[in-house]
């Protein structure tokens, strides 16, 4: 997980604040700074500014303390964010394993890339209506 996070953070050192949701934020943050001091010392200033939060669907699996400290709803700037948007296409994309199982690695990579691109295109296409529906719920 540290290597994935370091790769995602590369080149983002100018960010003043970074909000990051992870299913086990309360456990992961315990040694995050120590891990980065050891493995990625150049990213330590950014890690010190990171705010780890729990996605809303995973809140009830945590202790009450974690539900309060790592809650999106109590964090400035998160609005109505759920922190779950990355996981939303999984149910649909899990079906791709049947169609891509016998493909070569290159073909499988291309097929999965096309599926993720289509998901992102649909998300961008529907962003206006989605934003309007969220705003209507607030007002």
Is the full-model pTM beyond 0.75?
no
Query: What are the boundaries of each domain within the chain?
Result: 1-83, 88-139
pLDDT of residue 99: 87
- What's CA 75's distance to the chain center, in Å? 16
pLDDT of residue 40: 92
Is the model more confident about 24 or about 115?
Answer: 115
Among 37, 40, 34, 54, smallest CA distance to 5 is for 40
Please give the average per-residue pLDDT across 58-81, as a whole number: 84
Task: Summarize pLDDT for 9-51 with one digit per residue, the tens.
Answer: 888 878 888 888 888 877 888 888 999 999 999 999 988 888 8
């Amino acid at each position: 997980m540290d290597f994935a996070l370091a790769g995602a953070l590369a080149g983002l050192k100018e960010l003043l604040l970074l909000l990051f949701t992870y299913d086990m934020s309360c456990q992961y943050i315990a040694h995050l700074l120590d891990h980065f001091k050891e493995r990625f010392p150049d990213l330590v200033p950014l890690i010190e500014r990171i705010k780890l939060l729990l996605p809303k669907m995973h809140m009830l699996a945590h202790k009450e303390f974690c539900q309060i400290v790592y809650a999106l709803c109590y964090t400035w700037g998160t609005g109505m964010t759920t922190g779950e948007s990355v996981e939303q296409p999984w149910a649909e994309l899990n079906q791709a394993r049947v169609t891509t199982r016998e493909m070569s690695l290159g073909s499988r990579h291309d097929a999965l890339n096309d599926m993720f691109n289509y998901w992102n295109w649909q998300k961008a296409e529907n962003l206006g209506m989605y934003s309007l529906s969220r705003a209507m719920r607030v007002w």
